[in-house]
């Protein structure tokens, strides 16, 4: 795509222009409370194919469908009792549900990658929600970045990766949750965690009244997008660093004197999640300015949002392929 990417203002005219572009089969990045999404009309195969091309995304990887409300969601997915319970507890919000596709759904096979399920979510972000309401249909949207790179939590991050490759960006504020949605597979009354994310597992377990199942068998990935190396900056990353060496810079968590940046000096996991991706980008820039240093990261507790933060950090630190 040769044309420059339009920067649409977060007002009525901008929302209308964004919805019109989606209806015409265009690609529009928009804010959600988790990360910026790269949206296309989920019913238009050509538009969805353009998402994969803009992101250089492996085509076996299915996309999340975004909707404005539960009624719209029920046009595409079959909600059983458990799914309704989860939707009413956590929507709008950072939770995606993988549910059986509804007959006659009309969603492109490129969105579901040929599976008989669909991942669906209702974002809470006011601007993203306004766009979905105006468009009044299903919007397929992965994170608005080149596949495998750090996810975008500001409109500027989107433009860094995708300027000239997509039609427009709806220019909102930075995302306040800062990590992607939690993904759950619902089958009968069994609920499996496919990806840790913005809603902590403990809170979901309290809602459904029993433990989540975990899918960790690498031979049968339930969420094909869970690639081992992902979210990767250029610099090498070392996790759980209590001390760090002269050729490293430290991304801190909790009280620590010598960090270059601190995800949360007071040890607040919400603050750390909101800062994670933008600080990874900044640390990457600083590491390269300092002659190719590595990034050491303080230990992050493995509960609540820490589970999602550690999942992203482990992928960022994984050997690159």
Q: Give the gyration radius of the chain's Cα atoms.
A: 19
Minimum gap (Å) between residue 215 Cβ and ligand TXA: 9
Task: Tokens for 130, please give them.
Answer: 């306004």
Residue 98 interaction partner, one of Mg ion, ligand TXA, none, beta carbon < 5-8 Å per kind:
ligand TXA
Minimum gap (Å) between residue 298 Cβ and ligand TXA: 25
Minimum gap (Å) between residue 221 Cβ and ligand TXA: 8
> Residues 62, 115: contact at Cβ < 8 Å?
yes
CB of 38 or CB of 296, closer to Mg ion = 38
183 binds ligand TXA (CB under 6 A): yes
Residue from the set 5, 43, 108, 223 that interacts with ligand TXA by CB under 6 A = 223
Q: Which stretch binds ligand TXA (CB under 6 A): 31-39, 82-90, 129-137, 253-261?
A: 31-39
Residue from the set 143, 153, 262, 310 that interacts with Mg ion by CB under 5 A = 143
Minimum gap (Å) between residue 289 Cβ and Mg ion: 26
Reported as half-sphere exposure (CB side, CA atoms, 13 A), residue 314 has a value of 12
Q: x/- string (CB under 6 A) for ligand TXA, residues 129-158?
A: ------------xxx---------------
Residue 183 interaction partner, one of ligand TXA, Mg ion, none, beta carbon < 5-8 Å per kind:
ligand TXA
Task: Tokens for 275, please give them.
Answer: 């800062």
115 binds ligand TXA (CB under 6 A): yes
What is d(CA 207, CA 205) in angstroms, rounded to the nearest whole number?
A: 5
61 binds ligand TXA (CB under 6 A): yes
Q: x/- string (CB under 6 A) for ligand TXA, residues 250-269?
A: --------------------
117 binds ligand TXA (CB under 6 A): yes
What is d(CA 82, CA 34) in angstroms, rounded to the nearest whole number?
A: 24
Positions that interact with Mg ion (CB under 5 A) = 143
């Amino acid at each position: 795509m040769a044309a420059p990417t339009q920067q649409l203002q977060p007002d009525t005219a901008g929302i209308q222009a964004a919805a019109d572009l989606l209806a015409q089969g265009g690609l529009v990045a928009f804010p959600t409370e988790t990360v910026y999404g790269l949206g296309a009309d989920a019913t238009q195969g050509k538009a969805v194919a353009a998402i994969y091309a803009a992101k250089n995304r492996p085509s076996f990887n299915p996309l999340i469908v975004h909707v404005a409300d539960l009624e719209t969601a029920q046009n595409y997915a079959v909600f059983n009792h458990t799914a309704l319970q989860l939707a009413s507890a956590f929507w709008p919000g950072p939770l995606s549900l993988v549910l059986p596709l509804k007959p006659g759904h009309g969603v492109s096979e490129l969105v579901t990658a040929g599976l008989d399920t669909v991942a669906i979510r209702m974002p809470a972000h006011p601007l993203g929600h306004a766009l979905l309401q105006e468009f009044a249909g299903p919007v397929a949207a992965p994170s608005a970045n080149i596949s495998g790179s750090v996810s975008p939590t500001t409109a500027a991050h989107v433009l860094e990766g995708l300027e000239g490759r997509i039609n427009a960006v709806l220019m909102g504020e930075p995302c306040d949750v800062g990590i992607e949605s939690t993904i759950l597979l619902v089958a009968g009354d069994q609920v499996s965690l496919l990806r840790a994310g913005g809603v902590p597992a403990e809170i979901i377990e309290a809602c459904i009244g029993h433990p989540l199942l975990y899918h960790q068998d690498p031979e049968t990935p339930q969420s094909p997008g869970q690639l081992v190396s992902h979210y990767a900056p250029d610099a090498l990353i070392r996790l759980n660093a209590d001390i760090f060496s002269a050729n490293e810079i430290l991304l801190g968590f909790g009280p620590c004197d010598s960090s270059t940046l601190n995800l949360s000096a007071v040890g607040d996991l919400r603050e750390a999640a909101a800062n994670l991706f933008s600080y990874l980008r900044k640390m990457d820039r600083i590491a390269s300015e300092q002659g190719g240093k590595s990034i050491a990261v303080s230990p992050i507790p493995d509960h609540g949002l820490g589970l999602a933060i550690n999942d992203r950090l482990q992928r960022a630190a994984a050997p690159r392929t």
